[in-house]
A = this chain, B = another copy of it.
Amino acid sequence: MVERSAFSTGQQVRLACRAQGFTSQTSGLAEGFAQANLVVLPAAVAADFQEFCRRNPKPCPLLDVTEPGNPLPARLAADADLRTDLPRYRVWKNGELAGEVTDLVDLWRDDFVSFLIGCSFTFEAALLRAGLAVRHLDLGVNVAMYRTNRPCASAGPFRGPLVVSMRPFKPTDAIRAVQITSRYPAVHGAPVHIGLPGDLGIADLARPDYGDVVPVAADELPVFWACGVTPQAVLASARLPLAITHSPGCMFVSDVHDESLATF
């Protein structure tokens, strides 16, 4: 077991993954450095997926896209290798989970394109710095996520509902949370909805589609952000012969400072 506090930079996390000593979730590691969702696709469907992301920037904010076959995301981290530098990966075949691996060395192909998608950890760190409490972090559980009745804009085989994450806040903190997260469009940005879950087709907040139940108090509003699980749900429904993603919570940790992603 690697001591988690040893990881103060993205490079340290990546090198520990590369040595296969670290295969756990990355939440809370390398504080101040942006983490990213990973989607790896064959080039034949990459253009459609890129256009899907462009049409749905709130759930799928692209931090970077690599050239076919190139596993080096140099614009996000100088010495990183996407084949080895994440703790764990999921391999999907025909939309079904086919396995989990700790590197992609044997699976890598010359036509693989990697998409790095902004992650809510960056805006959650900003909420914490502003003194707001993030309930699921306090409870040590995963954020509650819901499939909504809002369809994403489709592109090629990629279509499906917007998935949202929910964080409860008192009204004044909800307003602060809108202000704070608006500064970070590269990591989902401002909430997409607030206060009226039924309007999103969410019948019962206590039954999330992904993640854990996160209680909402009577004096709080549920605040909903577009979620990086959206592209994974869309990938599954596209039933591609082959797709690879990070394993849940096992993100790519970059060298990009969270604050460098703020627009103002």
**Interfacial residues, chain A to chain B (CB-CB below 8 A):** 170-172, 174-175, 178-179, 182, 190-196, 199, 219, 221, 264
Q: Which residues of B contact A179 (CB under 8 A)?
A: 178-179, 182, 190
15 A–B contact pairs at CB < 8 A? A170-B199, A171-B194, A171-B196, A171-B199, A172-B192, A172-B193, A175-B191, A175-B194, A179-B182, A179-B190, A182-B182, A194-B221, A195-B195, A199-B219, A264-B264
Measured between C-beta atoms, what is the minimum distance from A177 to chain B in Å? 9
Measured between C-beta atoms, what is the minimum distance from A153 to chain B in Å? 16
Chain B residue with the shortest CB-CB distance to A197? B171
Chain B residue with the shortest CB-CB distance to A150? B172
**Majority SS at the chain A contact face:** mixed
Chain B residue with the shortest CB-CB distance to A200? B171
In the assembly, how many copies of this chain are there? 2
Kindly state the separation between the CA atoms of A221 and B171 in the bound complex, as whole angstroms: 11
Contact of A221 with B193 in the complex, beta carbons under 8 Å: no
Contact of A194 with B182 in the complex, beta carbons under 8 Å: no
Given contacts A182-B182, A195-B221, A196-B221, 10 further A-B contacts (CB under 8 A): A170-B199, A171-B193, A171-B194, A171-B196, A172-B193, A175-B190, A175-B192, A179-B179, A179-B190, A199-B219
Contact of A219 with B193 in the complex, beta carbons under 8 Å: no
Kindly state the separation between the CA atoms of A114 and B170 in the bound complex, as whole angstroms: 37
Measured between C-beta atoms, what is the minimum distance from A175 to chain B in Å? 5
